[in-house]
Amino acid sequence: MANAAHQESLTSSLDIPAIEKQEVAHNLLVDGLERRIAGQLSVIIPIAVIGWIASQTSNSALWIFLGLQLLTQLAIAVSSQWLRRAIETGKSITIRKNLWMMAEASSGIIWAAMMLDVGTLIGGSDAVLTTWVTILVTMVVSILLAAPIAGIAFPLLGGFTAAGAAGIFLFDKDFSGFAQMALIFMCVALFIIAKAVNFQAHKSCRAGIEVERLGQRLAEELRRTSWLSQHDSLTGLLNRSALQERIAELDDMQTPLILLDIDHFKQINDSYGHDQGDEVIAAVGASIRETLDKAAPDALAARWGGEEFIIALPSCETSSVAADIAERLRAAVAGLTHPDWPARLRVTASLGVADGPASAFSATFKQADSAMYEAKEQGRNRVVCARDGGGKAPRVPRAA
């Protein structure tokens, strides 16, 4: 109970979709089709027994029933496979399923007809008739155990019971009262067993679907958690630690850095609120991502902290190319607008660019940081590139 309650609580907390009855029925039908071959193999034993009895008598009706039963089993095999193909291809299954059920019901009728014929042949002794009933129970239970959860037990038993009742009560077959009662109780018991197995199958199938969905949802949550551990939740860019891990993998590869800082961000927060500030950060992050997708698909972009972003360019050939990418980023940020933003809100950014190997990330970062502050001092909304040796060279924006 505790485990079930825990699973139900976990399922609810993970927002697992409700399981529809049609889905359970569909899964059981598919599973039943897969089991049907084993069910038909189990028919070999009772057919062999009845064939042996037929060989000991001169009654030709048994051979006719055996032939009909074999044809019926062939019809079951064909119709079940036809239904299976319809399920696999997404076609309508109503007609095919009904044909399959009719074949199963016909099989039950033929089993009952053979039972009645065998019963009159092997005599009226209660002991002999009890053996007869035992054989029939074994035969029918073997079929029930082969594929009960597909629902085929009910048309099969329905045909069997109807034919048996008709033979006893309408055609006045010569059976003792014990045999009649045994047959009645056997049919009732088999219906109860079939219903219980079917109910348990539905319950197990539903539980299996829940476990499968729970596993999928947990896998999604694991992927989401893994993603969140490496990305900034507000912008979707890498976080600081993830960027540092990626850069550490580049070894001595020349990797220019661009440091981008949103201008007057404190004033934006103070004037329009922190929610508006978060929207600006998210918009800048999206602008960086879209610009880099076009200009530098291999770039690594991260939110370094607050309103500060960093872009690493491991595939960048020269520092001038890095400066051009920085200029595109500056222009993209300066062009940000949104109909829901205050009319007076303007977003710009100052950028610093520095070049160096990935293994010297700290030193390159300090140069880019220094160049970015130089851009602030020069009036913001511009790009400044760090010279070799630590000096700065201003880069005049194309559209200030």
Catalytic one of 104, 279, 307, 327: 307
CA-based end-to-end distance of the chain: 68
Residue 187 burial (CB < 10 Å; 0-12/13-18/19+)?
A: buried
- Give the CA distances from residue 35 to residues 139, 146, 186, 211, in Å, rounded to whole numbers and listed in that order: 17, 6, 24, 22
Say what angle helices 177-230 and 126-146 make with each other, to 10 degrees.
Answer: 20
Establish whether 307 is a catalytic residue: yes
Residues with active-site annotation: 307
